[in-house]
């Protein structure tokens, strides 16, 4: 595996491409190089793209502002491999989710990445919810998800004795994954393919210059560096709109809203009472999928995430303990064994949403910005759930967007 690097201060000019850094032992300086593709962000999406593109392209470069990969949304989620039920027919979310889940399961089997295809129950707890459950099955069919099974109350009891439902839809192709191991795999394969990782390096500015992109970085010590890249993949998650704005794409449809989700874990021994994912029927106006229960690979059980817009786009990962009552009230409908003091604060994540409060859900934006005058500058904006599930399919999609 090639060394993982941070920037420092010397100027290197090769093939008309310049890189300014400070450390003579920097591996990028050791060889003649031309930065061909710069990927901004080493979350699961940036890493999947690096792994894929480096099979075909040389001189791929990943820039990440943290010390390690996956320090933001990619490590603050439910780690669910979604089946593709909920999304608008024909959308990227629907298509890439259905493709992506198969790709991830194949990879997990081949590479021994910890996962569990445990399945998911979507439960109706009263007659009024049955219509919505039927509509969900129809939506799933339209998205090419044909494996949903109807269960009656007795079948639910047999599967999950502690879950209450009058009927349920069972999704056998939903599962959970160790997302850290997945990201580690992508980082390793990328490195083997020659990708250079610049951790602790934050993109501060980008401009277009004579057919390539000049990128300005700041390192952890406050030093600045510049280099040129032929192509740029903007997979900066919560900052992807800010990155696009650096090139003047400060447009309404890319406006980012931070939507926070909190989780509460169920304390032992009740965390062992449920073995599959259990979701309520989603409400019409919900921002997320409703408070649900997820299992993890260590036998943990947690509730969440909730979904609420933050007043400001701030990295606020605190958990308001007083919200436990809302989680309890929602989950008790289908997990009647719960008591309020079974819940403890767990973690929080932030969704990079591009729909304003009250608006209908928006699809992922994955676009080569040639039309705006930025050839081979590919924006990935609003990569919220199911972005983890879609990551490998997104990488293939991005590869097809590149114009030779």
Ligand X SMILES: Cc1cc2nc3c(=O)[nH]c(=O)nc-3n(C[C@H](O)[C@H](O)[C@H](O)COP(=O)(O)OP(=O)(O)OC[C@H]3O[C@@H](n4cnc5c(N)ncnc54)[C@H](O)[C@@H]3O)c2cc1C
Q: Which residues bind ligand X (CB under 6 A)?
A: 40-46, 63-66, 71-74, 76-80, 82, 202-203, 235-239, 261, 305, 349-351, 383-389
Between residues 134 and 346, which has the closer beta carbon with respect to ligand X? Answer: 346
Between residues 80 and 281, which has the closer beta carbon with respect to ligand X? Answer: 80
- The tokens for 98 are 């259905």
- Residue of 115, 86, 91 lying closest to 103 (CA atoms): 115
Least distance CB 155 / ligand X (angstroms): 25
Q: What separation in angstroms does the CA of 274 have from each of 139, 304, 324, 344, 380? A: 27, 15, 19, 17, 36
> In 10 A of CB 23, how many CB atoms?
15
Least distance CB 29 / ligand X (angstroms): 21
Between residues 71 and 155, which has the closer beta carbon with respect to ligand X? Answer: 71
Least distance CB 394 / ligand X (angstroms): 8
Least distance CB 380 / ligand X (angstroms): 6
Q: Give the strands of the sheet with 80-81, arranged side by side.
A: 80-81, 175-177, 115-116
Least distance CB 238 / ligand X (angstroms): 6
Residue 70, exposed/middle/buried by CB under 10 A (0-12, 13-18, 19+)?
buried
Between residues 280 and 305, which has the closer beta carbon with respect to ligand X? Answer: 305
> In 10 A of CB 43, how many CB atoms?
27
Least distance CB 153 / ligand X (angstroms): 27
Are 28 and 242 in contact, with CB atoms under 8 Å apart? Answer: no
Between residues 235 and 324, which has the closer beta carbon with respect to ligand X? Answer: 235
Query: Nearest 5°: phi and psi at 210?
Result: 45, 50
Strand partners, 269: none
Between residues 6 and 167, which has the closer beta carbon with respect to ligand X? Answer: 6
In this chain, which residue has its C-beta nearest to ligand X?
A: 387
């Amino acid at each position: 595996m090639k060394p993982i690097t941070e920037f420092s201060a010397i100027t290197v000019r090769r093939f008309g491409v310049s890189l300014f850094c400070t450390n003579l032992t920097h591996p990028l300086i050791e060889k003649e190089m031309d930065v061909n593709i710069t990927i901004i962000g080493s979350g699961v999406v940036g890493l999947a793209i690096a792994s894929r593109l480096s099979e075909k392209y040389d001189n791929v470069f990943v820039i990440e502002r943290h010390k390690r990969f996956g320090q933001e949304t990619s490590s603050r989620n439910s780690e669910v491999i979604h089946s593709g039920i909920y999304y608008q027919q024909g959308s990227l979310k629907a298509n890439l989710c259905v493709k992506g889940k198969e790709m991830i399961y194949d990879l997990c089997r081949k590479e021994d990445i910890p996962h569990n295809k445990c399945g998911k129950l979507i439960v109706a707890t009263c007659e009024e919810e049955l219509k919505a459950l039927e509509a969900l099955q129809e939506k799933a069919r339209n998205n090419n998800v044909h494996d949903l099974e109807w269960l009656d109350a007795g079948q639910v009891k047999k599967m999950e004795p502690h879950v209450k439902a009058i009927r349920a839809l069972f999704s056998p192709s939903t599962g959970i994954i160790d997302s850290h191991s997945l990201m580690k795999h992508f980082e390793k394969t990328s490195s083997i393919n020659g990708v250079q990782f610049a951790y602790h390096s934050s993109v501060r500015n980008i401009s277009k210059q004579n057919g390539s992109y000049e990128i300005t970085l700041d390192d952890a010590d406050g030093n600045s560096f510049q280099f040129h890249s032929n192509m740029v993949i903007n997979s900066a998650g919560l900052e992807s709109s800010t990155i696009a704005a650096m090139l003047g794409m400060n447009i309404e449809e890319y406006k980012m809203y931070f939507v926070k989700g909190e989780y509460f874990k169920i304390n032992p021994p009740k965390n062992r009472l449920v073995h599959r994912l259990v979701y309520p029927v989603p409400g019409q106006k919900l921002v997320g999928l409703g408070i649900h229960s997820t299992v993890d690979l260590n036998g943990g059980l947690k509730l969440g995430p909730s979904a609420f817009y933050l007043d400001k786009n701030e990295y606020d990962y605190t958990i308001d303990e007083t919200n436990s009552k809302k989680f309890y009230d929602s989950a008790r409908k289908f997990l009647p064994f719960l008591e309020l003091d079974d819940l403890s604060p767990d973690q929080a994540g932030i969704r990079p949403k591009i729909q304003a409060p009250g608006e209908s859900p928006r699809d992922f934006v994955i676009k080569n910005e040639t039309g705006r005058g930025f050839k081979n500058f590919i924006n990935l904006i609003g990569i919220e759930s199911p972005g983890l599930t879609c990551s490998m399919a997104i990488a293939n999609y991005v590869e097809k967007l590149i114009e030779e």
